[in-house]
Chains A and B, each alone.
Chain A
Amino acid sequence: MEEVDVEPTTTPIPGFDSNQKHLGFVWGPGDILVYETIYKASGGSAGGCPFVHEVRKDEDIYSPILRKLFNESHHIFVGLQRIREDLPSKNKKPQFVSISKNYRSVIRACMEELQQVAVYHNDSLGNTLLSLELIWNLCEVLFIDAAPAGSLVLHLLDWVRLHKADVDEKAREVLASESPAEHQAYWDVVISYVLQGRMDEARQVLVKQAALQPAARVMFKLLDNLLMKMPIFNPGETQTLTEFDVKWRHWREEVDHCLQDQSFASNRHLEDICKILVGDEDVLLEYKELLSTWYHFLVTRLLFSHPTVKPTELHYYAQSSMHMFLDTRSVPEPLDSILLAAFEFDIHQVIKDCSIALNNWWFVGHLTDLLDHCKLLQSHNLHFGSNLREFLLLEYASGLFTHHSLWQLAVDYFDHCPEFGRVYLELQIERVPLDTERKALKVIRICEQRQMTEQVRSICKIMAKKALRNNRLGSALSWSIRAKDAAFATLISERFLQDYCAKGTFSDLDLIDNLGPAMLLSDRLTFLGKYREFHRLYGEKRFSDAAKLLLSLMTAKIAPHSFWMTLLTDALPLLEQKEVIFSADQTHELMFCLEELTSGKSVPTPDKPMQDEDIETTKIELLRLALARNLAMAIVKEGTVEI
Chain B
Amino acid sequence: MMEGINAKYVSQKISKTRWRPVSSSSLQQPDIFATGSWDNEDNKISIWSIGENGISGLDDEFEGDPQLVCEHKHNGDVLDLQFLDQDRIVTASSTGAVIIFRHHHNSQTLSVSQLWERAHHYPCDNAPCTGIVCNSPEIVTVGEDGRIILFRADQEGVLRTIENADSSTIHDVTFLRTTEILTVNSIGQLKIWDFRQQGNEPSQILSLTGDRVPLHCVDRHPNQQHIVATGGQDGMLCIWDVRQGNMPFSLMEAHSAEMWEVHFHPSNPDHLFSCSEDGSLLHWETSSNSDTPSFLQGGRNTSIVSRSAIAPAGGNQSLISSWLTGDSSKGRLETTHMLPSQTLSVNSLDVLGQCLVCGTDGEAIYVNRRVPI
Contacts and interface: CB of A to CB of B under 8 A. Distances in A.
B61 to A, nearest CB: 15
A365 to B, nearest CB: 18
A103 to B, nearest CB: 14
A125 to B, nearest CB: 14
Contact of A68 (B9, B13, B40, B94): B9
B145 A470 contact: yes
A411 to B, nearest CB: 9
Interface of B, secondary structure class, is: loop
A82 B314 CA distance: 10
A439 B214 CA distance: 15
Given A475-B144, A517-B211, A508 B167 contact: yes
A64 interface: yes
Contact of B123 (A409, A470, A515): A470
A438 B38 CA distance: 10
Interface string B184-195: 011101010000
Nearest to B124: A470
A71 interface: yes
Contacts of B361: 408, 442
A67 interface: yes
A428 to B, nearest CB: 16
Interface in B109-158: 122-125, 127-128, 130, 144-146
B199 interface: no
B167 A472 contact: yes
Contacts of B39: 404-405, 439
B122 A514 contact: no
Contact of A514 (B7, B94, B127, B189): B189
Nearest to B341: A79
Given A67-B11, A75-B343, A510-B205, A442 B277 contact: yes
Nearest to B207: A514
A475 B186 contact: yes
A481 interface: yes
Interface in B1-43: 7, 9-13, 38-41
B9 A436 contact: no
B127 A474 contact: no
Interface in B204-229: 205, 207, 209-212, 214
A480 to B, nearest CB: 11
B212 A518 contact: yes
A517 B210 contact: yes
Contact of B122 (A437, A470, A474, A510): A470
Nearest to A405: B39
B168 interface: yes
Nearest to A470: B122
A438 B130 CA distance: 9
B345 A442 contact: yes
A473 B168 CA distance: 7
A475 B362 contact: no
A517 to B, nearest CB: 6
A82 to B, nearest CB: 5
A102 B312 CA distance: 22
A511 B187 CA distance: 8
A585 B343 CA distance: 66
Q: What bracket does the count of chain A residues touching chain B fall in?
A: 35 or more
The interface centre, meaning the residue of A74, A472, A510 with most chain B CB atoms within 10 A of its CB, is: A510
Interface string A69-105: 0011011001100100000000000000000000000
A232 interface: no
Given A67-B11, A68-B9, A510-B167, A435 B77 contact: yes
B258 interface: yes
Contacts of B189: 510, 514
A436 B77 contact: yes
Nearest to A67: B11
A404 B40 contact: yes
B144 A481 contact: no
B167 A64 contact: no
Contact of B169 (A472, A481, A511): A472
B9 to A, nearest CB: 4
B295 to A, nearest CB: 25
A546 to B, nearest CB: 23
Interface in A528-586: none
Contacts of B309: none
A406 to B, nearest CB: 9
Interface in B160-208: 164, 166-169, 185-187, 189, 191, 202, 205, 207
A437 B169 contact: yes
A258 interface: no
The interface centre, meaning the residue of B7, B10, B125, B167 with most chain A CB atoms within 10 A of its CB, is: B167
A474 B186 CA distance: 8
A409 B130 CA distance: 25
B371 interface: no
Interface string B88-103: 0000001000000000
B362 to A, nearest CB: 5
Contact of B364 (A71, A437, A472): A71
B305 interface: no
Given A67-B9, A439-B77, 12 more contacts: A68-B10, A78-B342, A436-B128, A436-B144, A438-B128, A441-B233, A445-B258, A449-B257, A470-B122, A470-B123, A477-B168, A478-B187
17 contacts: A71-B362, A71-B364, A79-B341, A82-B314, A405-B39, A437-B144, A441-B258, A449-B257, A477-B187, A507-B167, A508-B164, A510-B166, A510-B167, A510-B202, A511-B168, A517-B212, A518-B212
Q: Which 9 A-B pairs have the closest CB atoms?
A: A474-B168, A474-B167, A508-B167, A68-B9, A67-B11, A470-B122, A64-B11, A71-B363, A475-B168
